[in-house]
Structure 1
Amino acid sequence: MALIALAADKGSPGVTTAAVALAAVWPRRTLLAEADPAGGDLVYRGAASHGGPLNPNTGMLSIAATARRGLAPDQLWDHAQTMSGGLDVLVGIGSSEQSAGLVGQWPLLGRAFASLAESPHSPADVIADCGRIGGDGPALELFAHASLVLLVGRTTPESIARVRDRALALSAKLHGSQRGAGQLGTPLLGVLLVTDPKDSSKVVGQVNDMLVASHSGVRVVGSLAYDPQGADQLAGRRRGRLDKSLLIRSARQVSFDLNQQYGAVWAAPNGPAGGPAGGPSGAAPGTAR
């Protein structure tokens, strides 16, 4: 099993929506971690399983107060909450000012996230929403422990160009300066595009051509449907059959493709995440699997 980290270069391409959607349809037990140093959004978007609001003080903030004494992977569950629908989540810090409490702890968090797959008690994959990243920052310390880093981008020319440039810079930082190393090194790097479903195949091909030409070794691993109505349903702002939305249907395809392509590596004892393979689990009540 694995730590999957999602991030973006600039703007608001939908990293949080993508992370929640993938976590909701992931084939094994999943812990969604809001690891954005600028602050999380889920306390404002979602409700707890008991019907009330999520507690902003239980999650990354409470980890910051206790992890200086060490952090065993199973301790992550002490800071997790269950959202309405059954998704387990570590809610993010409230603001960028609170990120000072996590200084120096990001490698510790990365190791705990990656090692949760090996827990003999409550193993799970971790999908981490890392928000926007720059040239340096705490997210890079977490990425070093990930099995896969996904750069989320829209399909405007400027967004695609930024994804290409960030992929090149990130590959160089994580894998060294050898061109194309992003295809072979750990963590693996990929691009997740948020696209109009009607143009998805065409745009994915065009962006892949650009990435190939850049010699970054990074490729598009899938596309999520640009679906504002589905995003509102996922956030609880609109009623409807979430499992029938274009967003969830496309997230389910991305999840399937990622696990088909990389699942055997992630499950191998000596793979990036280690630990035994986990079988598909049934959906928690209300989750869109």
Structure 2
Amino acid sequence: MSLIALTSPGDAPGVTTSGFALALTWPERVLLAECSPGGGRLLRGYFQCHTPPDHGLWNLGLAAVHGPDIALRALWEQTLPLDEQRERLLLPGLNDPFVAVQLTAATWEVLAQTFTELPFTVLADVGPIVPELPFPVLRSSDLVLVVMRPTLAQVAAARSRLARLRQALGPSVPVGLCLIGDRPYTAGEVRAQLGDFAIVLKLPFDQRAAQVLSEGPDSERARRRIEAGLLLRQAGAVGRAAHRFATAQRRALHGVPGSVVEDSRP
């Protein structure tokens, strides 16, 4: 269906938490794939390692060595459901980030092909912008979303990294911006420093909800509270906007549309 990669300038702006929130509220079936070379976080964070730790990206990468057909068949054995209907799936990331160097560019190419051939959206959390990024996944994406806070530190970190990212991807892959919070700088001020983006989306800065999504709920009440809270409501609107953009991008055979700014508030 479509492939959307999520990355960040670093300094823990919440890209994994944002990707998780998007997956939980995505408007159709979705796979959240933890593809960061730095390793996965959701099993040891939100799920507190209660789910089986032997599923995930590493085993899928081993299967991908034998080609895309084998990888596609192996994918279903490596995913975990995020809901009872299995409409929201998780591909857990690496348990040991030191094995990331063994995932070669050829392996990432097969994984990218596997993701793009699925009949639903894949959200690939590739972690911060670093030289070890799985660039084949990003180059195959219909949209690359840079998730960041609108702060001086984040803008300063993003300036050179974003330039490198755009250079590596070329003009055929649209780069969007997802801002967490609206202070101290506005989206317009961030764009003035970092250049234009294909789409601009906004998530609220909700530290309590983000902590629950990052570390797991300590009670059923906490889980219900975030399900009804602002972050997930806003994530639903952001997901719908990103889904529309990525779908149109794929239908246009990866032609680059004009800039779109969406105020994704409910």
Gaps spanning 5+ residues in structure 2: where? 256-266
Where does residue 260 of structure 2 map in the other structure? none
From 89, 102, 112, the counterpart of 1:110: 112
Separation of aligned partners in 1, 2:159 and 2:103: 29
Where does residue 50 of structure 2 map in the other structure? 53
Where does residue 193 of structure 1 map in the other structure? 179
Aligned residue-pair number = 245
User: Aligned-pair RMSD on alpha carbons?
Assistant: 2.4
Where does residue 66 of structure 1 map in the other structure? 63
Q: TM-score, normalised by structure 2?
A: 0.83
Gaps spanning 5+ residues in structure 1: where? 117-122, 176-184, 274-289
* 1:1-289 alignment, distance < 5 Å: 1-47=1-47, 53-72=50-69, 73-83=72-82, 87-104=88-105, 105-116=107-118, 123-134=119-130, 136-175=131-170, 185-196=171-182, 199=183, 203-212=186-195, 217-218=196-197, 221-235=200-214, 236-238=216-218, 239=222, 240-266=224-250, 268=251, 271-272=253-254
Change (3 A) 1:250 1:164: farther
* Maintained 8 Å contact 1:167/1:218: no
* Maintained 8 Å contact 2:126/2:133: no
Separation of aligned partners in 1, 2:46 and 2:68: 27
Deviation at 1:65, TM superposition (A): 2.5
Deviation at 1:137, TM superposition (A): 2.1
Where does residue 262 of structure 2 map in the other structure? none
> For residues 35-82 of structure 1, what are the alpha-carbon distances to aligned partners after superposition, in whole Å with 9 as ceiling and x for unaligned?
01111111112339xxx8222221112112222111333542221111
* Maintained 8 Å contact 1:2/1:146: yes
Separation of aligned partners in 1, 2:2 and 2:15: 18
Q: Identity of counterpart residues, as a percentage?
A: 30
Q: TM-score, normalised by structure 1?
A: 0.76
Structure 2 SS opposite 1:42: coil
Separation of aligned partners in 1, 2:31 and 2:117: 12
Residue identity opposite 2:102 in structure 1: G
Deviation at 1:254, TM superposition (A): 1.3
> For residues 255-282 of structure 1, what are the alpha-carbon distances to aligned partners after superposition, in whole Å with 9 as ceiling and x for unaligned?
122234443333x2x6349xxxxxxxxx
Separation of aligned partners in 2, 1:47 and 1:96: 19
